[in-house]
Amino acid sequence: MRAQIALYVGLGLLALVAPFLGLYPVFLMKLLCFAMFACAFNLLLGFTKMLSFGHAAYFGASAYITGWLVTVQGWGTLEAILGGVAVSMLLGAVIGAIAVRRQGIYFAMITLALAQVVYFVCLQAQFTGGENGLQGIARGSLLGLLSLGDDRAMYYFVLAVFVAVFLFIRRIVHSPFGQVLKAIRANEPRAVSLGYKVDRYKLTAFVLSASLAGLAGSLKALVLGFATLSDVSQGNSGEVILMTLLGGSGTFLGPFVGANVVITLQEYLSDLAGSWVSVIIGAIFVVCVMVFRRGVVGEIQRRFGQRSD
Amino acid sequence: MALAEEVILETQGLVKEFSGFVAVDGVSVRVRQREIHALIGPNGAGKTTFFNLLTKFLQPTSGAIFYRGRNITREQPADIARHGIVRSFQICAVFPHLTVLENVRVALQRKLGTSFYFWRSERSLGNLDRRAMQLLEEVHLEPWARTQAADLPYGRKRALELATTLALEPDVMLLDEPTQGMGHEDVSHVTRLIKQVSANRTVLMVEHNMSVVASIADTISVLQRGRVIAAGPYSEVSKNPQVIEAYMGTSSDSLSGGPDGP
């Protein structure tokens, strides 16, 4: 426990000074956004064993809504973020309500199919800009006080949100609700026989995960200044699964580590290897699944005998 | 014949068909208040299916289930638990990655009404710990309170399952083969526990071990090929030639209550 706190503090300090270490702030922000996305996804896969194949729907929809609210409606930054999150929450509630009634592969297929519907809507609708996406989304300012146009200011804002989300997920897992989720994950029929209406708990977890994925998406839209079809595409849903499994699903730091690995590789290899990037990442994933199934953090925790909750 | 108000749980002509195969074929069983009622029968007789019908994990093809005179045939499994009918499973059902104490606490926690509070610390569940420990004491598990349930030996897992079930203060406990796969010592331990916790409760149990049945059951219903072929006190039922034949394949001997069962 003490080692864990020390690790968190160390990582936190590193994150605070990172922009002064010559690292490109926009790249760091992109890292944090995808790490947040993976953490949100992990809440579902890692702590409730629900494998969603369509999490890009919430990430992307929220990115579009935030972008549209800022560029077309002229909303302020915070309001636009909240608007995006609200829409992904709603989307999560609708898709979740249908999906949680099924288990395993059927659950995965329903989330995949409905995410494809969302993708199609984003492709066809007027407000999303179709193939071009939404460009030139301004970051605006925080309540008119702090301009986020500066990369460093924006970085600390994103960092603060990420830390809040990270701690929030920890709290969810270590809450009375989290206890019930653990029980459902371990033995669903038994949880039912104790009188728990498990579908409602799963739906709540699903909506929480979708909302946080949406938050990550809307921040990403503000950071990079655009929302495109790739945000809402199947490829993005696959990537977040990969990040989570690579880092270690069911661990708190795993998705963060996985997102760092994947995004860093994409960023640096794209110059060197071009389109071979996806082949390399795919190969890493295969090795990961075959050699260390628990993911990077999962394996480390096992070696050092820590409980993986 | 039992008086109508004494009957707590009753099925009338319960039928379950699986695409042409009739697993439960018109079963009518009456369970009286505060008795230990054993459901016995050879493998494939439909005992577990019958259990799943009672607890709504399966929907019956036809027939009806009454609890305290109320028709509960169309209710949801979680609602059945809320009425006070709590089941155990053939395969031991604990939550392996929770500690022994947390296992019991999960059952206690629902009544607290904070089970959806994802923003509150789990430390708020601490005031359930005392009651959870009491329950663990009842099944002699208090020294293992902080152990992961997965690390308990099999017999103790069964005891933990009982403690978790008791946490709901059920009126009716449905136990599906509570002594299955246990060594001799564990069997007598769990048998004693069942007898102990059955005070002021109704127990309906599926059991293969005839010595367990003989020692604690008040009433026995014998199932064969989805039908009840006999019902009554052990002394009567065990001498029924049809029952002996179903069990032993011969009617030459009365049912013996050997330690390992038939």
Ramachandran area for residue B44 (φ above 0: left; ψ -120 to 50: alpha; else beta): left
Tens-digit pLDDT profile for chain A (309 aa)?
778 888 899 999 999 988 888 888 999 999 999 999 999 999 999 999 999 999 999 999 999 999 999 999 989 999 999 999 999 999 999 999 999 999 889 999 999 999 999 999 999 988 888 888 899 898 888 887 788 888 989 999 999 999 999 999 999 999 999 999 999 999 999 999 999 999 999 999 999 999 999 999 999 999 999 999 999 999 999 999 999 999 999 999 999 999 999 999 888 888 887 778 888 888 888 888 888 888 889 888 888 765 544
Strand, coil or helix: what is B205? Answer: strand
Please tell me the distance in Å from B98's CA to the nearest CA on chain A.
Answer: 8
User: With an 8 Å Cβ cutoff, is B122 touching chain A?
Assistant: yes
CB < 8 Å to B106, chain A = 179-180, 183, 191, 194
Query: What is the domain range of residue A36?
Result: 22-232
Judged by CB atoms closer than 8 Å, whether chains meet at A186 and B98 is answered as yes
CA distance B170 to B32: 15
Burial of B53 (0-12, 13-18, 19+ CB in 10 A): buried
CA distance B215 to B219: 11
User: With an 8 Å Cβ cutoff, is A170 touching chain B?
Assistant: no
Radius of gyration of chain A (CA): 19
Judged by CB atoms closer than 8 Å, whether chains meet at B97 and A182 is answered as yes
Judged by CB atoms closer than 8 Å, whether chains meet at B115 and A196 is answered as yes
User: With an 8 Å Cβ cutoff, is B191 touching chain A?
Assistant: no
Domains in chain B: ranges and CATH: 4-89+201-248 (3.40.50.300)
What's phi and psi for B13, nearest 5 deg? 55, 45
Interface predicted TM-score (ipTM) of this complex, two decimals: 0.81
CA distance B214 to B217: 6
pLDDT digits (tens, 9 = 90+) for A207-229: 999 999 999 999 999 999 999 99
Nearest residue on chain A to B97, judged by CA atoms? A186
pLDDT digits (tens, 9 = 90+) for B7-62: 999 999 999 999 889 999 999 999 999 999 999 888 888 888 998 999 889 999 99
Judged by CB atoms closer than 8 Å, whether chains meet at A193 and B97 is answered as no
Judged by CB atoms closer than 8 Å, whether chains meet at A192 and B78 is answered as yes
The pLDDT value given to residue B103: 94
B186 band by pLDDT with thresholds 50, 70 and 90: confident
The structural domain count of chain A equals: 1
User: With an 8 Å Cβ cutoff, is A305 touching chain B?
Assistant: no
User: With an 8 Å Cβ cutoff, is A203 touching chain B?
Assistant: no
Q: Is residue A202 part of a domain?
A: yes
Q: Is residue A94 part of a domain?
A: yes
Cα→Cα distances A241→A103, A164, A173, A254, A261, Å: 18, 22, 19, 12, 13
Tokens 């359930």 belong to residue: B128
Strand partners, B86: B173
Strand, coil or helix: what is B82? Answer: helix
Count CB-CB contacts under 10 A for residue B64: 15
Q: Is residue A42 part of a domain?
A: yes
Q: Is residue A69 part of a domain?
A: yes
Burial of A11 (0-12, 13-18, 19+ CB in 10 A): middle
User: With an 8 Å Cβ cutoff, is A167 touching chain B?
Assistant: no
Q: Is the distance from CB of B57 to CB of B77 less than 8 angstroms?
A: yes
B256 band by pLDDT with thresholds 50, 70 and 90: low
Q: Is residue A200 part of a domain?
A: yes
CB < 8 Å to B107, chain A = 194
Judged by CB atoms closer than 8 Å, whether chains meet at A189 and B115 is answered as no
A277: Cα separation from own chain's centroid = 21
Q: Is residue A177 part of a domain?
A: yes
User: With an 8 Å Cβ cutoff, is B48 touching chain A?
Assistant: no
Q: Is residue A68 part of a domain?
A: yes
Q: Which of A48, A172, A175 to mutate to test the interface with B (most CBs of B within 10 A)?
A: A175
Q: Is residue A265 part of a domain?
A: no
Judged by CB atoms closer than 8 Å, whether chains meet at B110 and A187 is answered as no
Please tell me the distance in Å from A171's CA to the nearest CA on chain B.
Answer: 6
Three-state secondary structure string covering chain A: CHHHHHHHHHHHHHHHHHHHHCCCHHHHHHHHHHHHHHHHHHHHHHHHCCCCCCCHHHHHHHHHHHHHHHHCCCCCHHHHHHHHHHHHHHHHHHHHHHHCCCCHHHHHHHHHHHHHHHHHHHHHCCCCCHHHCECCCCCCEECCCEECCCHHHHHHHHHHHHHHHHHHHHHHHCCHHHHHHHHHHHCHHHHHHCCCCHHHHHHHHHHHHHHHHHHHHHHHHHHHCCECHHHHCHHHHHHHHHHHHHHCCCCCCHHHHHHHHHHHHHHHHHHHHHHHHHHHHHHHHHHHHHHCCCHHHHHHHHHCCCCCC
Nearest residue on chain A to B58, judged by CA atoms? A189
CB < 8 Å to B105, chain A = 179
